[in-house]
Structure 1
Amino acid sequence: MKRNGIRDVIYIHLNEKSQFVLSHGIEFREFLIVLHESINHMLLLKHRFDDGDFNMHTMLDYVPKKRIMKLGDDDVYTYGDFCWIDFEEMEGLDEVPGQVLAELLYLGHVKEPLKPPFYSYLRNSFAYLAHDDGWFNKIYYRDLTQFYHLLSQLIPMKLETLKPEKNLLGLKKKKTYPSVDEHLLLSLKKFMSEGVVLSVKDVMQNRYRIELPLWVIGDFSNMDDMYEEYEKNSKRPCDAKLIFDKKTREWKIRSN
């Protein structure tokens, strides 16, 4: 579901061994806000962006660093398939051998790598594979700490947009929340490895705290099935809560 143009349910299935995160509710625009400094250029494998440059060696479009934020402003959800891999230097892109190019084309077409999608020629940090961006995303991370950093910033971003507080006159006011401690999120690794929903939609708040419920719902690649399972599980007590203490302005986790 979307509210104010923002998805209010986040599903995460972490595959630590294969270094990818399958998700629903995390959009490219949000990914870019947090992690854009880790991206130099982007090689577009599946897209509809009309302001890319063409690389003659790979016969693929790419986005130079200076234009990446423009891509972030585009409605990539409407592309259908949106797949890319970052790369450091043009020289490396121009040296990609045929075998690697074949693997990249397969990656963009099937959203599955033939082998771990990290290449010495590209020196990439990510492989980003989405269908209806924000609905189904599969992102490979060379360094999974980047994912925890993304999540630590994403949760307060969602709250600021979806749950503005009201002042004494009842008018909504923009509220800034601190990032969630990444070590705290690491303690949710077991839940994320099983497949977990964190719901901003079902948030509870009072004068003292904000509580975001989490439900472990299992491994899904079909997000219609995932959402159906979430709706069923949301009627039972949650497995844990991510809690923001308004007085101390600190986050904590409470398991049920």
Structure 2
Amino acid sequence: MAKKEKEIEEYLTHLYVHVNEVEHFALFSGLSVQQFIRYFSDMPALLLLKHQYEDSSFNMHTQLEFIVQEQYTHFLKDYSERPTAICLMDFTDERKLNMLSPQEQAELLYIAHKKETFRSPFFYHLQNRFVYLTDEGERITKVYFRDIEDLNSLLASIFNQQISEKTKSTTFWRKKNNVILPEISADKVETYIDYYEDGVLMSLFKMNKINYGIEIRSLPENIFPDEVLDDLKLHLEKEPDLLIEI
């Protein structure tokens, strides 16, 4: 008997990922700012290089705005109501902003405007782990990572968040202490890093009552990342290159 093909509705989420390890960035489609900040929620503060958030703090030295950890929830709520293009990066405390040179401040503005950098986007004084850039519709997101381990952990976090939400919705009437959530580890994500360098579609689905799977499909090099999710049906017709079982 021929294997039954899954319908689009059977998938929990889809994520396009294209990693450039040389330049320390990854391109995403299907990544939300909520998912991203949820993973990096332990960061003390975020420097807002491009935004329309009205309740941020103002740094006199750089003439830039920022938010601290206690404001993240309100920031995300505001963003969900008024999506805009965003460029932000993490830093430790405001005193470090006051140490930035005019050259470094100019580089920050360049990154926010061009969505690229002409040298490392990781600043000595800020010790930032990432630079996050997305357009108004989050159709394409670019993230610079200081450490590739953060990329692996972010991917694991995204899929684990989806599994958790799916499990909660299907176990509403059960006792929570009886539910053991399957999880994918950052180490397991890293195992397939070679695939991500070519650009892949990662599709999460439920395999059975307790297990989940992530299908990985390599996509053509000339693909436009912001069009991947529009053409899901076409891409899903291709057999997966591999299956990650969770």
Fold shared, TM-score > 0.5 on shorter chain: yes
Q: Deviations over 1:186-228 (max 9, x none)?
A: 111111111111113xx25334643332211144684343235
- Higher strand share goes to which structure? 1
2:195 counterpart SS class: helix
Greater RCO, CA 8 A, separation 6+: 2
Q: Deviations over 1:62-90 (max 9, x none)?
A: 11233233223332584431001211121
Equivalent AA in structure 2 for residue 223 of structure 1: P
Q: Deviations over 1:87-136 (max 9, x none)?
A: 11212201211111111111001111121100112111111111136421
- Given the alignment, which residue of 206, 212, 215 partners 2:214? 212
Q: Calculate the aligned-residue CA RMSD, in Å.
A: 2.7
- 1:32 equivalenced with 2:34 (yes/no): no
Number of residue-to-residue matches in the alignment = 234
Equivalent AA in structure 1 for residue 32 of structure 2: E
- Residue equivalent to 1:241: 243
Q: 1:108 to 1:74 in 2, by over 3 A?
A: same
Query: TM-score when scaled to structure 2?
Result: 0.83
Equivalent AA in structure 1 for residue 72 of structure 2: I
Contact 1:82–1:133 (Cα < 8 Å) also in 2: no
Whole-angstrom CA distance in 1 between matches of 2:175 and 2:219: 34
> Gaps (5+ residues) in structure 2?
1-8
2:155 counterpart SS class: helix
Contact 1:196–1:214 (Cα < 8 Å) also in 2: yes
Whole-angstrom CA distance in 2 between matches of 1:117 and 1:242: 32
- Residue equivalent to 1:103: 107
1:36 counterpart SS class: coil
Contact 1:130–1:138 (Cα < 8 Å) also in 2: yes
- Given the alignment, which residue of 1, 13, 21 partners 1:16? 21
- 1:188 equivalenced with 2:187 (yes/no): no
> Gaps (5+ residues) in structure 1?
245-256
- Residue equivalent to 2:77: 73
Greater shift in the superposed pair: 79-88 or 212-221: 212-221
Whole-angstrom CA distance in 1 between matches of 2:228 and 2:113: 23
Q: 1:42 to 1:230 in 2, by over 3 A?
A: same
Query: TM-score when scaled to structure 1?
Result: 0.80
- Residue equivalent to 1:89: 93
Contact 2:140–2:226 (Cα < 8 Å) also in 1: no
Identity of paired residues, percent?
A: 24
Q: What is the CA-CA distance between 1:231 and the residue it aligns to?
A: 3.2
Q: 1:67 to 1:13 in 2, by over 3 A?
A: same
Whole-angstrom CA distance in 1 between matches of 2:234 and 2:119: 36
Whole-angstrom CA distance in 2 between matches of 1:63 and 1:226: 32
Q: 1:79 to 1:166 in 2, by over 3 A?
A: closer
Equivalent AA in structure 2 for residue 158 of structure 1: Q
Greater shift in the superposed pair: 45-54 or 57-66: 57-66
